[in-house]
Amino acid sequence: MKTIQPVLNVIPSRAAGFWQLGVVVALVLLRSSAAASDFRFDRDTVGFANATVFEYREGHPYLRRQKEKGEPKRYTRRCFVLCRTTMQFHNFARFDAHALPLDDNALAAHIRNVTRRAAWGKPLPSDQRVVFPGYANLRAMSEARREVVRANIGLGWPTYFRLGNIRMLYEHNANYHKETHANLNAVLERGELFVGFLTTYPLLSINHAVLVYKREPAFPNGGTDRYLVYDPNHPESPRQLTWSSRDNAFAYQKDWDFIGGFVRFYQIYGKWLQ
């Protein structure tokens, strides 16, 4: 019995050690997944879509049919604008559903007061934010007053000439994207939002902006990090961006407007000139 006793003592101590390790891992995962939990897709995103310039079939672009006479103008080239607007409202605006809504002119002025601020600025305290009466959140207001919102959040064509876009011509190496991945995690850990530019240049299968707002819980040694994103082309539900530690690469989910798979990913609106 004396030779057995030490073995019996080791078993509980090992079990306790594994249990404690499991608790630590769970807490870390919980923290990483909940850091930006104050952002809700169904509340804090814009309720209308950015329309694509091309038509898509199974993720492949085709020239769109000619617009017929009397057909309303399509709202296109605004993915950067909608992501920036979402971040600005999250940082600088608040809503009061119990007050009377503003008329169109006053609402337009309030919107411009928000969207003319630097998106990378520090979030304002509640008592300094621009107040939007009559609506519970950005989603509700953008659905109810769509045309006023569209007319006052900015034009799409200037985003083609942003200085930060030049990175897609030369920032192609794995180290750059490893740094982007680390920065993405750090931003979300701080409870902030991360707007990113997805591209496959020189291929043209995607050139698009999305807003990352949450890192999903991951299993240890899984090798893949998953992130929830607001995609302006898909206001109906979140989309998913992934990072593979094996390939040191990002990938974006397949949908009607993208074939899915590898993308390069660059942060935008994180600082001046980015």
- Terminal alpha carbon distance of the chain: 71
Between CA 254 and CA 58 the distance in angstroms is 9
**204: confidence class by pLDDT, cuts 50, 70, 90:** confident
Model pLDDT, residue 69: 64
Lowest mean pLDDT among 54-58, 73-77, 156-160, 244-248: 54-58
Q: Which long-range contacts (CB under 8 A, 24 or more apart) does 165-174 make?
A: 165/197, 167/266, 168/197, 168/199, 168/201, 168/264, 168/266, 169/201, 171/264, 171/266, 172/264, 174/248, 174/249
| Residue predicted with more confidence, 59 or 210 | 210
pTM of the model: 0.83
Q: In this model, does residue 33 exceed pLDDT 60?
A: no
Q: Which residue would you say has higher pLDDT here, 203 or 244?
A: 244
